[in-house]
């Protein structure tokens, strides 16, 4: 299994080979290891989430999306405190907030950085064409969404203003 750095420096036929999202190490919110390969065969919508943001009500629609397309899609919430310090809580506070206020049952990852020098490898992959093989991007704010295909390829990304049940996203799931 290659690391992100090995993937960035290895070349295949003068073009960089995309690094599989399924090889990225990440933990659940409770600290246990999460194996992204468990999501093979389904779309995955990865969203950097925060509890004290103007877009926080999207949790409700993310849960609706998860419930509506449960056979085809996994919503993966990634708590992040990098935008306006809008996710200050610890794992217990985040989990409780999501369950009590929005009935969230989709998986939540450990709190992570989605940009900057300490950017988590998942977001390195999501935002780097070198790694995802499709396009570069940068995370602009909380609740930016990245859609991954059932084969582990980046489909597209959507800014915070795109609602989870938007046709931009659901057209891929029908």
Query: Looking at the annotation, which residues are catalytic?
Result: 53
HSE at residue 9, side-chain half, CA atoms within 13 A, is 5
Query: DSSP characters for the chain?
Result: ---HHHHHH--BTTBPPPPPGGG-EEEBTTS-EEEGGGGTTSEEEEEEE-TTSTTTTHHHHHHHHHHHTTTTEEEEEEE---STT-----HHHHHHHHHHHH---S-BB----SSSTT--HHHHHHH-HHHHSS------STT-EEEE-TTS-EEEEE-TTS-TT-HHHHTTT-
CB 83 within 8 A of CB 112: no
Cα distance between residue 32 and residue 132, in whole Å: 25
């Amino acid at each position: 299994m290659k690391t992100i750095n090995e993937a960035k420096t290895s070349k295949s036929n003068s073009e960089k080979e995309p690094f599989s999202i399924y090889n990225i190490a990440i933990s659940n919110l409770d600290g246990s290891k999460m194996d992204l390969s468990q999501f093979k065969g389904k779309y995955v919508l990865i969203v950097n989430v925060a509890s004290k943001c103007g877009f926080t009500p999207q949790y409700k629609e993310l849960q609706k999306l998860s419930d509506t397309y449960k056979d085809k899609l996994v919503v993966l919430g990634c708590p992040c405190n990098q935008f306006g310090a809008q996710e200050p809580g610890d794992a217990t506070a985040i989990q409780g907030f999501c369950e009590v206020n929005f009935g969230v049952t989709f998986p939540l990852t450990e709190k992570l950085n989605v940009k900057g020098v300490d950017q988590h490898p998942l977001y390195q992959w999501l935002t780097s064409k070198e790694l995802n093989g499709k396009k570069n991007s940068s995370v602009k704010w909380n609740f930016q969404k990245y859609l991954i295909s059932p084969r582990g390829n980046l489909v597209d990304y959507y800014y915070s203003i795109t609602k989870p049940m938007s046709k931009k996203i659901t057209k891929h799931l029908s």
